[in-house]
DNA sequence: ATCGTTTATCGTCTATATACGATAAACCAG
DNA sequence: CTGGTTTATCGTATATAGACGATAAACGAT
């Protein structure tokens, strides 16, 4: 595959250019993985799931992190679509986006399954 | 959960201290996700799987990245255990560690399954 | 209206990730 | 032994991630 001469661009241009070379599926999977790539976010999802009902900043009490940091992690999860949040007055109410989570599960398991099929077809 | 006063420590001490607060399972999953959190590494795994046999730097030809960068991504995958590599003279031969990949699959699907069970038990 | 509570965001700092070119080491071929 | 090939690593630059305290905005309660 042709490789661009990247040192003529800024880092940002570069990163954007690189991304074009990957398929949507590859980028989606990587994005999802990135959202799950910090233990705090794993815990947050677990906490949100366990509480069943949405909950606000009780998440902070479950984590050894400052309120600001937890809020940032929640934002990441929200941007990844794994969590949805509503503002209720002064409070914020988060909950697991089950539909999105199940799509995520599909995405991952499909990818692994395909790899597995390849393995089985040759080894 | 008690939160440490972290601004009295260096960033490194801090990060290490935080990690102690997470379970092994949570950290394992996050580590795995991190290894998969870049599209280049997804592609590399796909390429290695598709070639069936191990292969060396042909991976570079499949990616829009420099040899140095690809080598770094391979190192990340190797450190995560998803890929194994052998040096054969001047060449390096990589291949998917199928056992590790299948464990990874288990780890992930177990986690999602548990979340799903929680959902089903209440909603 | 004022006070306490809650939470998102700002500013900042440090660490890590990502990319590259250059280079050195290890080999193979001649 | 010399020259080409391959690849890991070094050095470097930039971008992103992750943490915090401080603060402002939005409420509810008094």
Whether B24 contacts B111, CB under 8 Å: no
Closest CA to B96 of B51, B65, B29: B51
pLDDT, tens digit (0-9, with 9 covering 90-100), for A4-52 = 666 555 555 555 556 678 999 999 999 999 999 999 999 999 999 998 6
pLDDT for B3-20, tens place per residue?
766 655 555 555 555 677
CB A101 within 8 Å of CB B112: yes
The answer to whether some atom of strand D lies closer than 7 Å to the beta carbon of B57 is yes
Tokens of B60: 């570079």
Whether nucleic acid strand C comes within 7 Å of the CB of B6, the answer is: no
Quick check: A56 pLDDT over 90?
no
Residue B25 has pLDDT above 60, yes or no: yes
In chain B, the residue whose alpha carbon lies closest to the alpha carbon of A60 is B1
Say what the pLDDT of residue A118 is. 86
- What's the pLDDT at A120? 85
| Percent of chain B predicted with pLDDT > 70 | 84
Shortest Cα–Cα distance, A6 to chain B (Å): 9
Residue B2 in this model has a pLDDT that exceeds 80:
no
- Does position B96 have pLDDT exceeding 90, yes or no? yes
Asked whether residue B12, judged by its CB, lies under 7 Å from any atom of the DNA or RNA strand D, the reply is: no
Tokens, residue B17:
């201290």
CA of residue A72 to C1' of nucleotide D21, angstroms: 14
- Positions of strand D less than 7 angstroms from a protein CB: 4-11, 14-22, 25-28
User: What's residue B54's pLDDT?
Assistant: 77
**How far apart, in whole angstroms, are the C-alpha atoms of residue B75 and residue B16?**
22
Q: Domains in chain B, please, with CATH?
A: 25-120 (1.10.10.10)
> What is the per-residue pLDDT for B7?
58
B17: the nucleotide nearest its CA (via C1') is D19
CB atoms within 10 A of CB A12: 8
Residue of A15, A37, A117, A123 to mutate, testing the B interface (most B Cβ within 10 Å of its Cβ): A37
pLDDT 10s digits, B46-59: 999 998 667 778 99
Checking if the pLDDT of A59 tops 60, the result is: yes
What per-residue confidence (pLDDT) applies to A5? 66
pLDDT score recorded for residue A26: 98
pLDDT digits (tens, 9 = 90+) for A85-114: 988 888 999 999 999 999 999 999 999 999
Q: Cα(B43)–Cα(A118) distance, rounded to whole angstroms? A: 14
Nucleotides of C under 7 A from a protein CB: 4-11, 13-22, 25-28
| Residue B53: both structure tokens together | 């046999």
pLDDT recorded at residue B79: 98
Model pLDDT, residue A89: 82
For residue B71, the model assigns a pLDDT of 97
Give distance CA A50 / C1' C18 (Å): 36
Whether A54 has a pLDDT exceeding 90, the answer reads no
Indicate the SS3 state at residue B95. strand
DSSP 8-class letter at B63 = S
pLDDT at A14: 54
By Cβ distance, the residue of B26, B104, B118 closest to A43 is B26
Percent above pLDDT 90 for chain B: 67
Taken as a whole, chain A contains a residue count of: 123
Give me the half-sphere count of Cα atoms (radius 13 Å) on the Cβ side of residue B82: 25
């Amino acid at each position: 595959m042709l490789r661009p001469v990247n040192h003529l661009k800024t880092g940002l241009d570069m990163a954007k250019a690189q991304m074009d070379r990957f398929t949507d599926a590859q980028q989606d999977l990587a994005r999802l993985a990135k959202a799950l790539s910090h233990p705090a976010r794993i815990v947050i999802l677990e906490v949100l799931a366990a509480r069943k009902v949405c909950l606000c900043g009780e998440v902070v009490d479950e984590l050894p992190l400052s309120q600001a940091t937890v809020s940032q992690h929640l934002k990441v999860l929200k941007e990844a679509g794994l969590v949805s949040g509503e503002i209720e007055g002064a409070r914020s109410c988060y909950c697991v986006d089950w539909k999105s989570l199940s799509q995520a599960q599909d995405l991952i398991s499909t990818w692994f399954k395909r790899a597995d099929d390849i393995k089985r077809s040759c080894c």
